[in-house]
Structure 1
Amino acid sequence: MKDEKNKKKVMDAKDVKDAKDAKIAKDAKDAKDAKIAKDAKDAKDAKIAKDAKDAKDAKDSDDSKDSKNKKSKKKDKKSKKYNYFEATVSFTDYSCQAAELLHSILSNFDTATLESQMLQMHEIEHSADLAKHQMMSNLVKEFITPIEREDIAAIAQEIDTVTDTIEDVVMRLYMYNIQTIRPEALEFSETIVSCCNALKIAMEDFHNYKKSKNVIENIIRINNLEEIGDKIYTRAIRNLHTTCTDPIEIMTWSKTFDYLEKCCDACEDVSDVVESIIMKNS
């Protein structure tokens, strides 16, 4: 009986120990699982926080870049502000190109190449038109202009007329099927080249019109050249009617001389507008 009690006590003690060990093991496992879960959660939270920070940093960086780009574009736009004085110089450069081509055509006249030369002249005239349209597009949006916008538009239009009229001469040579060049035509083309060059020099200094002497000096020069053109025209028409008996040739050359003389007049018209603007703003 006593042995059974002792055995029972031993078994009870063993059960208690086993239960205690099981609880300890379970607690240890639970603690380990809890730690693993906590570590996983902490790692996940840390990753989320890092990703959020990285995303924020990236956004801040992008915002900073966008801000810099906007400022840079704004600065570039400001620094690339359309220059109307430079534009008028470029317009006269087209006129000079057209005048030089006209003189070359008349000096080395060849009916076989006249059509291609006419197309070449048209390319110059078309480029001049595009440049003028670009200026007008800027002009209508401009808040403040260096001189009155009507004056800028007037100069652009008058210079464009110079280039157009030079092209008209070449078109007449082609349309009227002119076969030989009269000497006065060469005198005219030389005068037109001189007029356009003087016009370009005047426009190059036009931005400084209040102090520059070049502008007025070349305006006077253009006026003098236009008078020379008038004299050439008078002599050319006189010689045409006294030396030529072909009525068709008289008609075609009379009209061609008209346009050659108009080229000089067109240059003078530009100089008159420029002179008027100088007087208005002095």
Structure 2
Amino acid sequence: MFNRLLPKNLGFFDLFERHAQHACEAAQAMQEALKALPNKAQIQCVQECEHQCDDVAHMTIELMRKTFITPFDREEIRHLISKMDDVADYVDAAATRLDLFEVKEAPKELKEICDVLVRAQKEVLKTMKLLRNMKNTQELQDVLKNINSLENEGDRLHRAGLVALFQGDVDPLTVIKLKDIYSMLEEAVDSCEDVAHVVEGIIIEHVG
């Protein structure tokens, strides 16, 4: 009862939304990069967005240290921002490999899994906006289900992409390069689902 009477610091929700927005921009820049390779400008944009995500993550942890009353448990905040940051990290890793490996053309399935990533991260952004007010938990649960469905679609595209790589007329070195990039994007989509799982736990803990 005491905790309910104390004001909550809404600064955390501002930071969650800001992080999710930067991660959206990173995913969209990756999406654009894959449309016309090589594309150093979009790859640089991914990297800049990832740095912004890191900055927001650090700000969140610093705010947590300075704040007496937090919106939910400190460990939940730390876990949430960590999983959110994983998305941007994996997108950045994929973009870096595109550049280092000098990939000239992206397979159809690689573009499609990135499309799924963009959609999933947009759902994460919706989640962060809804998290400010957990009274309408049904709407929040619907968004979390969408993320889960997109993760399943990402898994399917990942498998289809690998099958196409290994069964197609692709030289072994290119297979190795593209397989690595596929894995990074698939991990990014998985991380969106990880964020959804953390939020589900928060809902159970604080709403019931």
| Distance in 2 (alpha carbons) for counterparts of 1:211 and 1:120 | 35
Deviations 1:152-189 (A, max 9, x none): 11111111111111111111111112111111111011
Where 2:132 maps in the other structure, the secondary structure is helix
Deviation at 1:212, TM superposition (A): 3.4
- The answer to whether the Cα contact below 8 Å between 2:34 and 2:105 also exists between their aligned partners in 1 is no
Matched, 1:206 2:139: no
- Structure with bigger RCO (C-alpha 8 Å, 6+ apart): 2
- The answer to whether the Cα contact below 8 Å between 1:154 and 1:273 also exists between their aligned partners in 2 is yes
Instruction: Please give the residue correspondences for 1:61-80 in structure 2 after superposition, counting only pairs within 5 Å.
Output: none
Q: Normalising by the residue count of structure 2, what TM-score does the alignment of the two structures yield?
A: 0.91
Matched, 1:165 2:90: yes
Aligned with residue 175 of structure 1, among 80, 93, 100:
100
Deviations 1:11-33 (A, max 9, x none): xxxxxxxxxxxxxxxxxxxxxxx
Residue number in structure 1 paired with 2:80: 155
- The answer to whether the Cα contact below 8 Å between 1:244 and 1:250 also exists between their aligned partners in 2 is no
Q: Normalising by the residue count of structure 1, what TM-score does the alignment of the two structures yield?
A: 0.68
Instruction: Output the amino acid matched with 2:55.
Output: L
Deviations 1:128-168 (A, max 9, x none): 11111112111111111111111111111111111111111
- The answer to whether the Cα contact below 8 Å between 1:158 and 1:266 also exists between their aligned partners in 2 is yes
**Contiguous gaps of at least 5 residues in structure 2:** 1-8
- The answer to whether the Cα contact below 8 Å between 2:57 and 2:81 also exists between their aligned partners in 1 is yes
| Distance in 2 (alpha carbons) for counterparts of 1:89 and 1:237 | 34
| Distance in 2 (alpha carbons) for counterparts of 1:216 and 1:275 | 8
Instruction: Output the amino acid matched with 2:17.
Output: V
Aligned with residue 68 of structure 2, among 143, 150, 159:
143
Aligned with residue 103 of structure 1, among 31, 46, 54:
31
Q: How many residues align?
A: 200
- The answer to whether the Cα contact below 8 Å between 2:37 and 2:106 also exists between their aligned partners in 1 is no
Higher Rg of the two aligned structures: 1
Share of identical aligned residues, percent?
26
| Distance in 2 (alpha carbons) for counterparts of 1:100 and 1:125 | 12
| Distance in 1 (alpha carbons) for counterparts of 2:100 and 2:160 | 24
Instruction: Output the amino acid matched with 1:103.
Output: Q
Residue number in structure 2 paired with 1:224: 149
- The answer to whether the Cα contact below 8 Å between 1:99 and 1:192 also exists between their aligned partners in 2 is yes
Instruction: Please give the residue correspondences for 1:1-282 in structure 2 after superposition, counting only pairs within 5 Å.
Output: 83-107=11-35, 109-111=36-38, 113-114=39-40, 116-281=41-206, 282=208
Tell me which stretches of 4 or more aligned residues in structure 1 moved more than 6 Å: none
- What value does the CA root-mean-square deviation take over the aligned residues? 1.5
Deviations 1:65-99 (A, max 9, x none): xxxxxxxxxxxxxxxx6521221111110111011
- The answer to whether the Cα contact below 8 Å between 1:82 and 1:138 also exists between their aligned partners in 2 is no
Deviation at 1:275, TM superposition (A): 0.4
- Compare the two structures and name the one with the higher helix fraction: 1
- The answer to whether the Cα contact below 8 Å between 1:201 and 1:214 also exists between their aligned partners in 2 is no
| Distance in 1 (alpha carbons) for counterparts of 2:170 and 2:119 | 32
| Distance in 1 (alpha carbons) for counterparts of 2:10 and 2:133 | 17
Instruction: Output the amino acid matched with 1:183.
Output: K
| Distance in 1 (alpha carbons) for counterparts of 2:187 and 2:135 | 30
**Contiguous gaps of at least 5 residues in structure 1:** 1-80
